[in-house]
Amino acid sequence: RKEVEQDPGPFNVPEGATVAFNCTYSNSASQSFFWYRQDCRKEPKLLMSVYSSGNEDGRFTAQLNRASQYISLLIRDSKLSDSATYLCVVNGPGTYKYIFGTGTRLKVLA
Amino acid sequence: DTGVSQDPRHKITKRGQNVTFRCDPISEHNRLYWYRQTLGQGPEFLTYFQNEAQLEKSRLLSDRFSAERPKGSFSTLEIQRTEQGDSAMYLCASSFGLPGQDVFGSYEQYFGPGTRLTVT
């Protein structure tokens, strides 16, 4: 089983739609979780950290489910500019390593 | 620009040659990471520095790869005797960890634009 798994997509959604991605992780001892956004041929950029209580930033909401070992990202009112790859990141317990998923590609269509 | 910078942005080299990449982190960041990313994959951890100390290396990292951060500021990644399989984007990231606080994996990282390596 991969340490961090994501559905690669693509998710094709119309503008204004709500879309959600999940990411599962294998090590229950992981403590830190993040979502990054990566545009084509660019570097990853931090979108948001994921806290145990969940967190929201504008149209973006992140949740953590420790029991089922997954994190989620919800995007409301999708914009064309949201088209990108969304990378799930989990820390490797007892290490300094961060483990990235392969990313989920989102295309928002006009 | 006070973000993470990397140099060069692109490098084309012939198989068997050595290459060296440089990363300048955000100035107050004491933690520095190197990653490798290939098409369709997420970044893969290579190595980690806290100040000038290299505290972790990926087991996947062959001995042809070496990294340094001599004064705890910029870092270099060298690949010796390059192979075609080394072709990838090499990303550097930095973060800040409070002195004396040694909590694994708690800190948000900021990435540089990457160095795209092509080995022919």
Report chain B residues whose CB lies below 8 A from the CB of A102: 40-42
| Average pLDDT value over all residues in chain B | 91
| Single-letter residue type at A53 | S
What is the rounded CA–CA span in Å between residue B37 and residue B6?
A: 15
Q: What angle do CA A90, B104, B56 make, to 5 degrees?
A: 95
With a pLDDT cut of 90, the percent of chain A lying above it is 82
What is the rounded CA–CA span in Å between residue A78 and residue A18?
A: 6
Query: Which 3-state string (H, E, C) describes B44-93?
Result: EEEEEEECCEEEEECCCCCCCEEEECCCCCCEEEEECCCCHHHCEEEEEE
Whether chain B has a CB inside 8 Å of the CB on A46: the answer is: yes
Whether chain A has a CB inside 8 Å of the CB on B96: the answer is: no
Q: Identify the CA nearest to A89 among candidates A49, A29, A42.
A: A49
Report chain A residues whose CB lies below 8 A from the CB of B110: 46
Partner residue opposite B104 with nearest CB, options A4, A87, A91: A91
- pLDDT, one tens digit per residue, over A19-53 is 999 999 999 999 889 999 999 989 999 999 998 88
| Backbone torsion region of residue A9, taken as left when φ is above 0, otherwise alpha when ψ lies between -120 and 50, otherwise beta | left
